[in-house]
């Protein structure tokens, strides 16, 4: 694991903002750290970057305990939290050159970074004239200048238009698949990261409500079969008598867990042969956004 926390807890006064958080971020993943506004994402990120001091629990990064290996660990992390620290009166390239000189990084990295984040054509434009998406990409280029293994980004897609989100998505996918990086990215919108994340952690009120691969999350949103018939209550009872699980029944519709197309056909035939009229029968998949909302609202 690149990041592994155990029972991480943090209070602001008597408010528990991070509560027993045990995160597992695998090497090479894009880990989407999701939660509604105020869930505790930024506080967690500040703890991971040692900008806030851990009160309870532990943080291991690259297999090392954070407090006792601060310099070693932090030199391998690039981060972007809140606004990127960009000089607006300088060009994109000058911003990168400045940072490269400061960190004693060979200046040839600057052109490589500009190319990586697709800002080569805008290299000599003042950063103040960049769009929000270009500024975010410059922020990521600055974070990547020292070639860190791990990138920690706090809501980098916040406020971006769909094209800006796609640019960031493609960049982060390139970083993990072609450059061996691990990316930890927070967002309050699942839709903004579901197409790039390989793993997801969902928090609310500082607590971890779900953690797993994006596939695990999709499995949670199990498909249903919905059936509209002329007499749903009697029809549902018939199905139950025949050992078919019924999830829910209302006046117009019966809901069953989906198992296979074949089973849908059998259920349809059973209802027909017992005198029920099936108006519609179909398969319905709960989308991930609805699932995310239901996970965060249950807490
Ligand atoms: N410096 C602080 N002092 C006191 N309370 C704070 C401080 N910073 C954050 N909080 C509180 O901690 C809680 C979690 O805040 P945090 O910024 O970590 O959430 P978040 O998930 O990042 O939210 P957002 O998506 O809005 O950025 C909030 O209730 C916030 O008011």
Are 138 and 264 part of one and the same domain? no
Choose one of 179, 197, 219: the last residue of a domain. 219
- At residue 82 the predicted structure's pLDDT band, cuts being 50, 70 and 90, is confident
Position 227 scores a pLDDT of 96
What percent of the chain shows pLDDT beyond 90? 73
The residue count of the chain comes to 299
Which domain, by its residues, includes 264? 221-285
> Is residue 299 predicted with pLDDT exceeding 60?
no
Same domain, 234 and 133: no
Model pLDDT, residue 150? 97
User: Does residue 193 form part of some domain?
Assistant: yes
Helix (H), strand (E) counts: the chain: 11, 15
Residue 204 shares a structural domain with residue 257: no
39 lines ligand 1 (CB under 6 A): yes
Residue 51 vs residue 84, higher pLDDT: 51
87 phi, psi to nearest 5 deg: -85, 115
Considering the domain architecture, whether residues 50 and 169 belong to the same structural domain is answered as yes
CA-derived radius of gyration, the chain: 25
Q: Is the pLDDT of residue 250 over 70?
A: yes
Q: Atom 26, ligand 1: which residue's CA is nearest? A: 37
How far is Cα 217 from Cα 215, in angstroms, rounded to an integer?
Answer: 5
196 within domain boundaries: yes
- Label residue 42 by pLDDT band (50, 70, 90): very high
CATH number at residue 20: 3.40.50.300
Does one domain contain both 172 and 254?
Answer: no
**Mean pLDDT to the nearest integer, 208-227:** 86
The interface predicted TM-score of the complex, written ipTM, equals 0.93
Judge if the beta carbon of residue 12 lies within 6 A of ligand 1: yes
Q: What is the pLDDT of residue 295?
A: 76
**Which range among 59-68, 103-112, 189-198, 281-290 shows the weakest confidence by mean pLDDT?**
281-290
Report H helices in the chain.
41-48, 70-74, 92-102, 108-116, 132-144, 162-178, 190-193, 214-220, 232-241, 261-273, 288-298
Does residue 225 share a domain with residue 211?
no
Closest CA to ligand 1's atom 24: 37
Same domain? 177 vs 227: no
Kindly state the DSSP code that residue 90 receives in the 8-state scheme: S
Are 88 and 182 within one domain? Answer: yes
The residue from 186, 219, 252 where one domain ends is 219
pLDDT at 202 over 60: yes
27 lies in the same domain as 143:
yes
Q: The tokens of 160 are what?
A: 């971006």
Q: Using a 6 Å cutoff on CB, does residue 11 contact ligand 1?
A: no
pLDDT of residue 191: 82
Residue 152 included in any domain: yes
Are 154 and 67 in a shared domain? yes
What total of structural domains would you count in the chain?
A: 2
Ligand 1 in reach of 187 Cβ (< 6 A): no
Same domain, 124 and 251: no
User: Quick check: is 118 in a domain?
Assistant: yes
Q: What pLDDT band is residue 190 in, cutting at 50, 70 and 90?
A: confident
pLDDT of 161: 84
Long-range contact set of residues 268-274: C-beta below 8 Å, sequence gap at least 24: 268/227, 270/238, 270/239, 270/242, 271/227, 271/229, 271/235, 271/238, 271/239, 274/235, 274/238
Query: Ligand 1, residues 8, 9, 11, 12: which to mutate, most atoms within 8 A of Cβ?
Result: 12
Count other C-beta atoms under 10 Å from residue 2's C-beta. 22
190 with 213, same domain: the answer is yes
Final residue of a structural domain among 219, 242, 274: 219
pLDDT of residue 298: 59
- Residue 37 is predicted with a pLDDT of 86
270 belongs to a structural domain: yes
């Amino acid at each position: 694991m690149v990041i592994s926390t155990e029972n991480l807890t943090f209070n602001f006064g008597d408010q528990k903002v991070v509560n027993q958080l045990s995160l597992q971020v695998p090497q090479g993943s894009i880990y989407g750290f999701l939660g509604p506004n105020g869930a505790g994402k930024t506080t967690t990120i500040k703890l991971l970057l040692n900008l806030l001091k851990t009160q309870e629990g532990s943080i291991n990064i690259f297999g090392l305990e954070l407090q006792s290996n601060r310099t070693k660990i932090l030199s391998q992390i690039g981060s972007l939290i809140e606004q990127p620290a960009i000089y607006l009166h300088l060009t994109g390239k000058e911003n990168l050159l400045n940072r490269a000189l400061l960190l004693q990084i060979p200046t040839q990295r600057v052109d490589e970074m500009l190319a990586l984040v697709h800002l080569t054509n805008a290299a000599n434009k003042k950063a103040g004239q960049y769009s929000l998406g270009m500024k975010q990409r410059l922020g990521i280029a600055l974070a990547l200048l020292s070639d860190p293994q791990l990138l920690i980004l706090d809501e980098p897609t916040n406020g971006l238009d769909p094209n800006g989100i796609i640019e960031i998505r493609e960049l982060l996918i390139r970083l993990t698949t072609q450059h061996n990086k691990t990316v930890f990215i927070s967002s309050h919108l699942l839709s903004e990261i579901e197409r790039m994340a390989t793993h997801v952690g969902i928090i609310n009120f500082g607590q971890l409500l779900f953690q797993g691969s994006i596939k695990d999350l999709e499995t949670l949103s199990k498909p249903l079969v919905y059936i509209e018939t002329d007499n749903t209550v009697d029809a549902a009872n018939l199905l139950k008598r025949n050992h078919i699980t019924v999830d829910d029944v209302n006046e117009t519709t019966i809901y069953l867990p989906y198992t296979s197309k074949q089973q849908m056909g059998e259920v349809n035939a059973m209802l027909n042969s017992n005198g029920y009229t099936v108006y519609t029968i179909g398969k319905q998949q709960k989308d991930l956004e609805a699932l995310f909302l239901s996970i965060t609202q249950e807490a």
